[in-house]
Structures are given as structure tokens and as C-alpha cells.
Structure 1
């Protein structure tokens, strides 16, 4: 698949001497939306493209693509590899939501403030749309070698496949479904979410890092950052499921409690869960400091965004 994306300066950042997190995110979100719009659902038959585009475009926080691009910026990675990785991880995330929302899984009717894909297009189109998004993710990671070196392609595909499969997101969802009505320890809950939610967030950072050649200590520090961030994201998600309304959250609140799913709030209490999220933020920021990288401002801003978000 040939690139249809406008060229971008190698440093990924707005032309300014002072770092403006909102301006940086605006630029990266524009790049991501442009790329997704150009690549998702193009020439898909029998209205399949409509379901694919509905699942991906015009919605979502795009945290995973932003993490890819921020990590790639921090290590001065290849821009073309980074934008493809950013889109690929978002497609895996989107496909997982399409499938998770279906009646055989969570049976939810609201996602990103609009009807879920199976409600809008029917279960068959939702299932096929999710399948097609998963396949497209890996197609984006394997362009011609003139665009992305084969060695980088292989690394990106391996990272994403491992994060999405049985030892990652899919495995975590299986544990989640098997844990309904059960009481989990904090360690068990952390393990479940480190797979279900954390694996793809960790992969986002790892994919950004894989766009360059990076010393092992730097990789390890950024991996610690991503691990803390992944758990923090889920803790905040559990808090919001209790305190936010549907209009703010963009999805049905209170589903976890109604379905008797274990959460950090049910295990720790609301105040302790909020405090835990802040502790995880400090761990993530300390890991960034330990990386020794000169510019981790975007990664730092994203960590703060995860913990302070309201939806």
C-alpha cells in the first residue's frame, strides 16, 4: 500500500522553541486523522468500508497513536514508520472495541458517544469490519522497503501481534470474561489489565521506540514508563465508570458494577484508586527521567493527560 500522507518534518513537532502540549497533540492528531481517512475502508466491497470507517474515524482520544508518535519523537525515529505504526495500533484498538461491544461479549450499545457498530450496521458487518481492521493494521506495517526498512517492519509487526494476541489484549479479555462475579486480588487484577489494556499501550511506546536504534537501558526505561501508564489508564477508567455520566464518558457508565466485574474501585475504594493513579503517574515520570533522553516532554504530557482525563 503506497503512502498517501503529506510529508512531515522529521522532528514531529510544531516549529516553536517552547513546547506546547496542546499544539503538539493538535499537529499529531491531524496527521493521524489524515492517514486513517486515507487508508481505512478504501475500496472495501458491499459497504464493508462504511462499517470500518464508522468504527475508526471521527471519534476516540487517539492515545495509542499519540504514544507511538511521542515515543518515536523522543528517540528521533523514522517518521514514515511512526505514522504507520500509530495508525496500525489504533486499528487494532478499534477492532477490539467493535468485537468487545457485540452481544456475545459486553453487549454494549454506546461507544464514543454514538451507537456501537453492531447496532448501526448489524452483527455480521461488525464482525467482518473488525476482522478487516485487524488485517489492515498489519498491511500498513508492511509497505515497500523504500518507505520502511524490512527490519523495522518485522519489529513493528512482532510487537503489535504479541500485544494483540493470547499473551496480550485477547488473553486479558478472556480473563475478564472469566472473572465476572469473582473476587480478584490486586495482583490478579493488575495482571488482567496489564494484558487487556496495558499490553496495547505498552506496545504503542515500544513501536515508537522501534522506529529507531535505541540502547537497551533507554528501551527498559521507556518500557517502565509504559507499564505504569497502562495500569494508570485502567485505574482512571474504573474511576470514571463510577463517577462520570454517559454524555461525558461517551459510553455506558456503571457497566462494570452491573456486570459484577472486578475493578480497582471495587477492590480499593474510590479515594484509594484515585491516589493509586497519581502514584502510577509519578512512577511513569520517574522512568522518563531515568531514560536520559533529552526530549520526553510529549510523553510526559500524555502521562498527565491519562491521569487527569474526564472521559
Structure 2
């Protein structure tokens, strides 16, 4: 009798467990697409798996940091806010565009090169300026990985927090205006994109840091990339063409080529000549028959955009 009574509760518990599992599977199939999809695991199991993975990741990170392992921190692969990245020739209108979009005079615009820094403009409760070491050392911003490009880049990076901007929820990153490099445009065009990469390889440190690598870093994390050209230099700057080939390759899905300052054209013939020159120059380095779409625009001058014509 003792043995019989001891087995009855065990069997009863087994039957109840089987019934519970069967009911869960049946309910999952009824909720799914006609019972064809496999049943989803209970929420408790999902939470347990997530908690276990998080615990393992947390325990591995100290060892990964000490050994410079392959795991990336979240701040190394994403930024605190999505951002628009602006690149292009000097005086092509990048800074003026930022001032116009944000509705405030934030960046200095001018005909000559006015800025040699990567400037991050982000919305905030108060107006604050931070230098490179401060912004790159802030783990919440997500720019810490730029430290690998050396102190020259760190000291040529800055953050501008501005309140009362016309848009919120995203950042805008302005880059130094690109200028003619020792690599002549004629040498790039005559030999194609392969020669562009080889010729520019020895000139990546002209600014004291790997400019092409930094542009690639920002571009890979940006949500939108705007490449600016202007009528005075429609694609004739060697550094711009080199950046297009070596730093922006493979990012066509978020790259927009802009021919700015369309209001400077007095005749349609002048516009056609500049547009055709830009298409011709781009065709020599893109390396495919189909050219990307080129957007033409102009920015209204005066307040609140903070003046026009520079960049």
C-alpha cells in the first residue's frame, strides 16, 4: 500500500504536466496561422534566454576589453541619435545648409575654407560647446571609437549642442571642406577607380590623420550622406573624387549627390555646362555605366539660415 500510494501522486503530477504542455501547444497553434507555424515559446522562456545572454555578455566584456577582443560595445557601433553626414568641396554650402535646416546661425559660412574640424551639431536644452577629448570621451555619445585615429583627429572634432532648433531627434555632422590634393584629378580620371585608390593611398595623412578612414567611419554609421558639389568646382577636386571612391563606396542606398548653389546660374547654358562637367567627372571614378541621380538645389540667403554661399 505504501508503494502504491507513493506512485499515485507522481503519476498524477506527470499527467498534469503533459496536459499543461499539450494545452499550451494547442493554444499556440490556434492563435497562429491556421496551426501551420511552430508554437512560440512562452514569454518566461524568452526572458530567461535574454537574461542569460546579457549575463554572459557582461561577464565576457572585461576580458574582451583587456585582450582587445572582437566584441564591440554598443557605443562603438551606434550613436546616441541618428545623424546626417555632410561631405563635399570647401565652400560648397554645407555649413549654410546646416544653418538653414536647423533655423539658426550655428556654423560659420564663407567663400574660403572656414573650418578644419568634424563638427557634430545636436539638439539639447542649452547651448553648449565641447572640444574633441570631451565628446569622444563621453560613452553616451557613441563616438569613442574615433580615438583609434589618433590625437590629431581628437583635437579636430567638436560638439555643438543647440536649443530651439527647427528640427529635433537627429544630429548633423559637418566635415572639413575638401581641397585639391597632391593627386591631380587628371591622373585619377585617366587611370580609373583602381588607380584612384592606389594613388590616394600615400596621401591619407595629409591632414595629420587618416581622413579617408574617418569619413568612412562616419559614413558607415550615418543614416543619410549628402555629398555636396558647387558650380565653381563641379567634381574637379581630387580629394573629393578620392573620397567618393575609397570612403563612400558601397553606400549608394543612403548617399545623395547634391549640386548646390543652382541660383548662381544666370543662363540655362551655364547650368547645362556645370551639370555635364560633374557627370563627366563622376563617370571617370564611379566605374559603372549608370550614374547616380544628382539633385540640384539652392539655399535661401539671409536669416534664419545665417547667410549663404559658404560651406
TM-score by length of 1: 0.27
Hey, which of these two has a bigger chunk of helix by percent? 1
TM-score by length of 2: 0.27
Hey, which of these two has a bigger chunk of strand by percent? 2
Task: Specify which structure has the bigger relative contact order, considering alpha-carbon pairs within 8 angstroms and separated by 6 or more residues.
Answer: 2
Looking at CA atoms only, which structure, 1 or 2, has the larger radius of gyration?
Answer: 2
